[in-house]
């Protein structure tokens, strides 16, 4: 029996990957690095600074910037990204998300956000679902990003559960790997590319029922 749900945000609750991509592409162009939508798949679930590192390595420029300069580049990307988020509304929730969260609440199932994004509280406010969650793991408190299981272990702790008692939802391979490494049951969501190792893969949350998942 499962007793709690742990959600990734970007790609599970709402589709922000297109905004991350636009902002990273602009930033990369400005320093002479070209990235495409396929490369962007490799940034899903990866923290802001680790994403920048991957872009610099991709462009062969990993040794060209000091830490201060890298922080300035990451801040520039984030300022652009946050501008792109201003128009988010509840209509940007992915299909079935609101209904699924409401069904979880009706079944007294605690829900937690385990996202690498430092913008998660702002995005949840914009989507008007902040109240649906019992906790948000603060990514600033993590020593390692996904695929390390740390964020999922902390998410389970936040609702007084063991990872084995929770179900995790993820759209990125790094996230599915982290969920499985923590011992949680993994639901892969909206995968464009195959998600290896997930216990179930669905296109949308509309395909799932809360009582059925609790039986897993």
Active site residues: 8, 10
Handedness of CA 2, 122, 204, 145 (dihedral sign): negative
State which of residues 9, 97, 151, 198 lies at the interface with ligand BG6 (CB under 6 A).
Answer: 9
The verdict on 11 binding Mg ion (CB under 5 A) reads yes
Question: How far, in Å, CA of 80 to CA of 1, rounded?
Answer: 43
Residue 201: its H or E element: strand 200-202
Q: Shortest Cβ contact with Mg ion: which residue?
A: 11
The binding track of 169-188 with respect to Mg ion, each residue x by CB under 5 A or -, is --xx----------------
The verdict on 46 binding ligand BG6 (CB under 6 A) reads yes
Handedness of CA 23, 28, 34, 40 (dihedral sign): negative
CA-closest candidate to residue 116, choices 39, 196, 8, 13 = 8
Question: How far, in Å, CA of 58 to CA of 78, rounded?
Answer: 20
The verdict on 119 binding ligand BG6 (CB under 6 A) reads yes
The verdict on 163 binding Mg ion (CB under 5 A) reads no
| Site for ligand BG6, rule CB under 6 A | 9-10, 20, 43-48, 51, 78, 115-119
| Site for Mg ion, rule CB under 5 A | 8, 10-11, 171-172
């Amino acid at each position: 029996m499962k007793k709690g749900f742990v959600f990734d945000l970007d790609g599970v609750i709402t589709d922000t990957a297109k905004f991350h991509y636009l902002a990273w592409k602009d930033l990369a162009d400005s320093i002479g690095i070209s990235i495409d939508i396929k490369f962007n798949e490799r940034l899903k679930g990866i923290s802001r600074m680790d994403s920048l590192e991957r872009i610099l390595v991709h462009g062969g420029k990993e040794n060209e910037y000091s830490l201060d300069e890298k922080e300035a580049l990451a801040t520039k990307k984030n300022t652009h990204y946050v501008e792109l988020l201003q128009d988010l509304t509840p209509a940007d929730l992915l299909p079935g998300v609101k209904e699924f969260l409401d069904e979880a609440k009706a079944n007294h199932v605690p829900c937690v956000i385990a996202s690498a994004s430092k913008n998660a509280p702002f995005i949840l406010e914009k989507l008007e679902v902040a109240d649906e969650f019992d906790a948000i793991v603060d990514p600033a408190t993590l020593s390692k990003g996904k695929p390390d299981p740390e964020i999922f272990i902390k998410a389970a702790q936040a609702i007084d559960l063991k990872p084995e008692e929770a179900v995790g939802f993820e759209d990125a391979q790094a996230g599915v790997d982290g969920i499985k490494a923590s011992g949680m049951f993994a639901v892969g969501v909206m995968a464009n590319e195959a998600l290896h190792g997930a216990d179930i893969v669905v296109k949308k949350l509309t395909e799932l029922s809360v009582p059925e998942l609790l039986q897993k």
